């Protein structure tokens, strides 16, 4: 159930004569672990749906071999145990039932632990021995991931803000695609598409939220923007004006209640230089 979260399809299988597969059948500890990952899947639905729309237009799959994203790194060609989930997430499961640590090869660039926010340099091989409740997932620096509050099924409307997780780095970008998810109205232009970018320079990070394309109205009225970086924030501005509703997070700064209007918005995070 952990690895299935980061696959295009997420479902559990059983057959006559096989053991029960429900999340709760192996006791409270396993139920809690599975609940965490099921909720992670629901949180990632905006990222996943956007990636599937991209696949429908371009043919580039959501689940990708490493060499598709890093064609110049020939050492990754035969690295079949790891894969990319969209352009921003590297999934590194333990696929063999051995007790000892296993090796994970990180491509060039910086990578951020999805669960902890720890930044790790790429172009190296690391050894991992994760506990049962941790599937190693790394975010490519330069990625912006849209997420949503937890729901119980895909027909339920999320309650709360759209969550943007910003990981500054080279060519920093992300996007969001939405439609009603049930009809062919998108073929008549009933969709929403928004681009996100960020720029990192000495002493500041700028996040640009592009104007929405399309007439579709999303479920959210505000955004929660989490920018991973130093904790020594001096000031935050929204569209050039001081922004007060922010607080430090785990290796990040968290901006709450950023209004969604469909128009372009600019966030500036200024850091202390001394």
- Strand ranges of the sheet holding 137-140, from the earlier edge strand across to the other edge: 63-64, 83-85, 89-91, 137-140, 110-113, 119-121
Establish if 104 belongs to a structural domain: yes
Looking at the structure, do residues 169 and 55 belong to the same domain, yes or no?
A: no
Residues 102 and 180 in one domain: no
* C-alpha 49 chain-centroid distance: 12
Residues 124 and 158 in one domain: no
Overall domain count for the chain: 2
Query: Whole-prediction pTM value?
Result: 0.95
**CATH number of the domain encompassing residue 159:** 2.60.40.1180
Q: Write out the residue range of the structural domain in which residue 230 sits.
A: 143-271
Q: What is the pLDDT of residues 147-162, one digit of tens each?
A: 999 999 999 999 999 9
79 versus 67: which is more confidently predicted? Answer: 67
14: in domain: no
195 and 82 belong to one structural domain: no
Contact 217, 233 (CB under 8 A): no
Q: Do 262 and 149 share a domain, yes or no? A: yes
**8 A C-beta contact, residue 142 and residue 170:** yes
Place of tokens 């926010």: 117
Query: Is 10:42 a contact under the CB 8 Å cutoff?
Result: no
Q: Helices marked H in 167-269 — which ranges?
A: none
Token pair for residue 38?
């099921």
pLDDT in tens, 89-99: 999 999 888 78
At a CB cut-off of 8 Å and minimum separation 6, what does 264 contact? 208, 209, 210, 211
| 15 in any annotated domain | no
> Per-residue pLDDT tens for 124-147?
999 999 999 999 999 999 999 999
The burial of 232, by beta-carbon neighbours within 10 Å (0-12 exposed, 13-18 middle, 19 or more buried), is given as exposed
């Amino acid at each position: 159930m952990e690895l299935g979260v980061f696959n295009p399809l997420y479902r559990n299988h059983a057959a006559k004569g096989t053991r029960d597969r429900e999340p709760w059948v192996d006791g409270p500890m396993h139920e809690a672990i599975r609940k965490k990952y099921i909720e992670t899947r629901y949180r990632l639905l905006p990222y996943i749906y956007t990636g599937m729309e991209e696949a429908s237009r371009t043919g580039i799959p959501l689940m990708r071999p490493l060499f598709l994203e890093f064609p110049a790194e020939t050492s990754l060609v035969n690295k079949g145990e790891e894969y990319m989930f969209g352009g921003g997430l590297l999934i590194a499961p333990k696929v063999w039932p051995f007790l000892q640590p296993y090796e994970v090869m990180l491509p060039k660039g910086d990578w951020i632990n999805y669960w902890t926010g720890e930044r790790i340099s790429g172009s190296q091989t690391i050894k991992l021995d994760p506990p049962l409740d941790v599937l190693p997932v790394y975010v490519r620096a330069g990625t912006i991931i849209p997420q949503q509050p937890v729901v119980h099924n895909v027909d339920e409307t999320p309650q709360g803000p759209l969550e943007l997780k910003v990981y500054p780095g080279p060519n920093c970008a992300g996007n969001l695609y939405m439609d009603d998810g049930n009809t062919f109205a998108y073929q008549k232009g009933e969709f929403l598409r928004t681009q996100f970018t960020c720029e990192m320079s000495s002493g500041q990070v700028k996040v640009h939220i592009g104007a929405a394309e399309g007439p579709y109205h999303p479920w959210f009225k505000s955004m929660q923007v989490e920018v991973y970086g130093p904790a020594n924030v001096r000031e935050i501005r929204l569209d050039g004006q001081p922004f007060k509703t922010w607080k430090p997070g785990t290796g990040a700064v968290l901006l709450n209640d950023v209004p969604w209007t469909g128009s372009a918005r600019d966030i500036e995070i200024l850091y202390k230089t001394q």
